[in-house]
Amino acid sequence: MSVETMKIKVVRSVAELREATRKYRESGKRMGFVPTMGALHAGHISLISKAKETCDVVICSVFVNPTQFNDKNDLLNYPRHDERDVRLLEEADCDIAFMPSVEEMYPQELESESFSLGSVMELWEGAFRPGHYNGVLTIVKRLFEYVQADVAYFGKKDFQQLAVIRAWVRAANFPIEIIGCDTVRSEEGIALSSRNERLSKEEFLRALAISKALFHVKQTLREGEEVYTILLAASEQFLKPAQIETQYFVLADADTLEKQDVFSNQKNLVLLFAGYVGSIRLIDELEL
């Protein structure tokens, strides 16, 4: 499919983006935004579909943000499929694809801004990946300012990221609505992720233990019950035999991300997991 025959508009610069969205803003169209790092899969496309349900115009950004990577090799190995991504967005009826260069998003220096949001930003991913959320918020802030959408859509698989962005939007009083969308899973149960591309067939099968452990815990927990022994048992039953190197597997408050030792139906809680399958780091979540 040539660029000339495509319905989707692909823009590379902030100036082009603003010109492409100007008529929509001036006419009061409701604009939805889906920020991604590319290597699109069914999970990303589900976000586009959600946006299409309630918005007149949908913009998707494709940008691998270097400042949120702690591991240079992880950044270098992150999958990039720009042509395929554009084709998938076209098929999903996305209106605008914003695909800037690093120089466009970081015209002065490749550094993150500094943010302070307390436990929601400091725990779990914040602890294992120092500076990660400063990088995330730096690029999200810039994208929000450039796109000027009414609502943005994020997948819940990166549950802490969603919580951090919501906390920042509230603190900054930024005029945008944040919608969290359910994690999309394969038929086997694994949470869809661009990083799954890097799993071997054997590693993919091992990775299925993550979702099995999460759903097992969800089915096992009872009101007022301490969670430590249940999490430990699930780790022994599912994660350890699959040779998964767990970094954290916890029950947390869905808003503050603080660890919870006792299960309660009266609270909004979430199971959070991060660990390695071989050399590939995967995360997953399950709301309770």
**Structure tokens belonging to residue 157:** 């698989």
User: In whole angstroms, what is the distance from residue 81 CA to residue 32 CA?
Assistant: 23
What is the signed CA dihedral for 260, 263, 269, 271, rounded to 10 degrees? 80
Q: What does the domain layout of the chain look like in residue ranges?
A: 3-181, 194-287
Tens digits of residue pLDDT in 21-53: 999 999 999 999 999 999 999 999 999 999 999
Catalytic residues, by residue number, are 44
Tens digits of residue pLDDT in 79-110: 999 999 999 999 999 999 999 999 999 999 99
Q: Provide the pLDDT for residue 75.
A: 92
Q: Provide the pLDDT for residue 3.
A: 47
User: In whole angstroms, what is the distance from residue 213 CA to residue 254 CA?
Assistant: 19
User: In whole angstroms, what is the distance from residue 156 CA to residue 125 CA?
Assistant: 14
- What stretches in the chain show pLDDT beneath 50? 1-4
Alpha-helical runs (H) found in the chain:
14-26, 42-54, 72-77, 82-91, 102-105, 119-122, 125-128, 132-147, 159-172, 201-220, 228-234
- Which DSSP state fits 71? -
Q: Provide the pLDDT for residue 240.
A: 98
Give the CA diameter of the chain: 61
User: In whole angstroms, what is the distance from residue 177 CA to residue 121 CA?
Assistant: 20
Q: Provide the pLDDT for residue 250.
A: 98
Q: How far is CA 249 from CA 67, 124, 184, 206, 219, in A?
A: 26, 10, 20, 17, 16
Domain 3-181, CATH: 3.40.50.620
Please indicate, yes or no, whether the overall pTM of this predicted structure exceeds 0.85. yes
Q: Provide the pLDDT for residue 1.
A: 46
- Provide Rg for the chain, Cα atoms: 19
Q: Provide the pLDDT for residue 2.
A: 46
Q: Provide the pLDDT for residue 4.
A: 47
Residue with tokens 């319905």: 7
> Do residues 198 and 71 lie in contact, with contact meaning Cβ atoms separated by under 8 Å?
no
> Do residues 242 and 209 lie in contact, with contact meaning Cβ atoms separated by under 8 Å?
yes
Q: Provide the pLDDT for residue 5.
A: 52
Q: Provide the pLDDT for residue 70.
A: 87
Q: What CATH architecture is 194-287?
A: 2-Layer Sandwich (3.30)
> Do residues 103 and 59 lie in contact, with contact meaning Cβ atoms separated by under 8 Å?
no
Q: Provide the pLDDT for residue 6.
A: 67
Burial of 212 (0-12, 13-18, 19+ CB in 10 A): middle
